[in-house]
């Protein structure tokens, strides 16, 4: 069983988002980068499935050299080796093409990733890779179990979930509660330093929808407080001032 887990290198969820260069570039000043929280769920489940099947687990990231500490963390958590496609991730299509190429070359049985990255939130890469490889793709997957080559999954839908059965190979975009996040232990951190991390160049430069400029939302006005003994005043404000009732 060969498992590929795709990792994004994204600002920590508490980061203040700012842009530079006339709002054309993300400003990384003071920002801590992490494995995407959804990718962390995918990685945790991938480690469990690797241990269960006795297979191998490769972590993949499309990014420039600065993302290597994030990939090393994936190795510390339990991936056996890592691949970095050496390019800025220009758009979902570009990233999907790189992942599809690595997946084709490696012949993976199961490809897991987060349901979406928390920077661009597209949630499109897993489906694109699926279509590029002619494999089924599912997202957001909140449970994934293997029974031979049959994969039993639960996928979240609006207001509930659906239970699914599909055959390997397949791709899943993951979210909680598929597994508990794993925190690397000291042995993992030590061994991650020497685990193989292969750097490959992108095989295609094609893009379809690149972001060209950024904006922050308009500043929020200050809150209007209503006395707790005047609750009907709130109803009046919502009706007549905010006009939301």
Partner 1 sequence: MSILVYVEQAAGKIKKTSLEAVSFAFALAQKTGEGSVVAIALGTIDSQELASVGEAGAAKVLHASDERLNAGVIQAHASAVAQAFQAVGASTLILAKSSLGDALAARLAIKLDAGLVSNVVELPRLEGGFVVKRSIYTGKAFADTTITTTKKILAIKKNAVDQKVDGAKAQVEAFAVSIAAADFASKITATERATGEVLLPEADIVVSGGRGMKGPENWGMIEELAHTLGAATGCSKPVSDIGWRPHHEHVGQTGVKVAPTLYIAVGISGAIQHLAGVNSSKCIVVINKDPEAPFFKAADYGIVGDAFEVVPQLTAALKAAQ
| Residue 65 DSSP class | G
DSSP type of residue 28: -
Contacting partner 1 (CB under 8 A), which of 78, 130, 169, 202?
130
* CA R_g for the chain: 21
Find out whether 59 and 102 touch, Cβ atoms under 8 Å: no
Beta carbons within 8 Å of 199's beta carbon, 6+ residues apart? 83, 84, 86
The least distance separating partner 1 from the CB of residue 175, rounded to whole angstroms, comes to 7
The distance of closest approach from Cβ of residue 9 to partner 1 in the complex, given in angstroms and rounded to an integer, is 14
The window from 1-9, 104-112, 164-172, 196-204 that contacts partner 1 (CB under 8 A) reads 164-172
Residue 228 touches partner 1, criterion: CB under 8 A:
yes
User: Does 119 engage in binding with partner 1 (CB under 8 A)?
Assistant: yes
**Which range touches partner 1 (CB under 8 A), out of 50-58, 80-88, 114-122, 193-201?**
114-122
Rule CB under 8 A: is residue 146 a binding residue for partner 1?
no
Cβ of residue 211: shortest distance to partner 1, in angstroms?
Answer: 4
Taking the CA atoms of residue 179, residue 180, residue 181 and residue 186 in that order, the dihedral angle to the nearest 10 degrees is -120
Under rule CB under 8 A, residue 49 binds partner 1: no
Q: Provide the phi-psi class of 243: left if phi over 0, else alpha when psi is between -120 and 50, else beta.
A: left
Report the residue number, 194 or 222, with the smaller CB distance to partner 1: 222
């Amino acid at each position: 069983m060969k498992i590929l887990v795709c990792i994004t290198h994204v600002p920590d969820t508490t980061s203040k988002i700012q842009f530079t260069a006339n709002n054309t570039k993300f400003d990384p000043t003071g920002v801590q980068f992490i494995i995407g929280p959804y990718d962390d769920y995918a990685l945790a489940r991938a480690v469990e499935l690797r241990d269960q099947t006795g297979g191998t687990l490769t972590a993949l990231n499309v990014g420039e050299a600065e993302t290597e500490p994030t990939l090393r963390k994936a190795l510390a958590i339990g991936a056996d080796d890592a691949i970095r496609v050496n390019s800025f991730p220009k758009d979902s299509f570009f990233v999907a093409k790189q992942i599809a190429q690595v997946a084709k070359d490696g012949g993976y049985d199961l490809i897991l990733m987060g349901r979406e990255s928390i920077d661009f939130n597209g949630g499109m890469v897993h489906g694109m890779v699926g279509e590029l490889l002619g494999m089924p793709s599912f997202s957001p997957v909140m449970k994934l179990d293997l029974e031979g080559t049959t994969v039993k999954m639960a996928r979240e839908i609006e207001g509930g979930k659906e239970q699914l059965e599909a055959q390997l190979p397949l791709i899943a975009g993951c979210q909680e509660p598929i597994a508990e996040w794993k925190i690397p232990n000291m042995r993992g951190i030590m061994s991650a330093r020497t685990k193989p991390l292969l750097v490959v160049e992108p095989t295609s430069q094609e893009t379809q929808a690149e972001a060209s400029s950024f904006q922050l939302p308009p500043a929020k006005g200050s809150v209007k407080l209503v006395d707790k003994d005047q609750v009907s005043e709130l109803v009046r404000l919502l009706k007549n001032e905010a006009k939301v009732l």
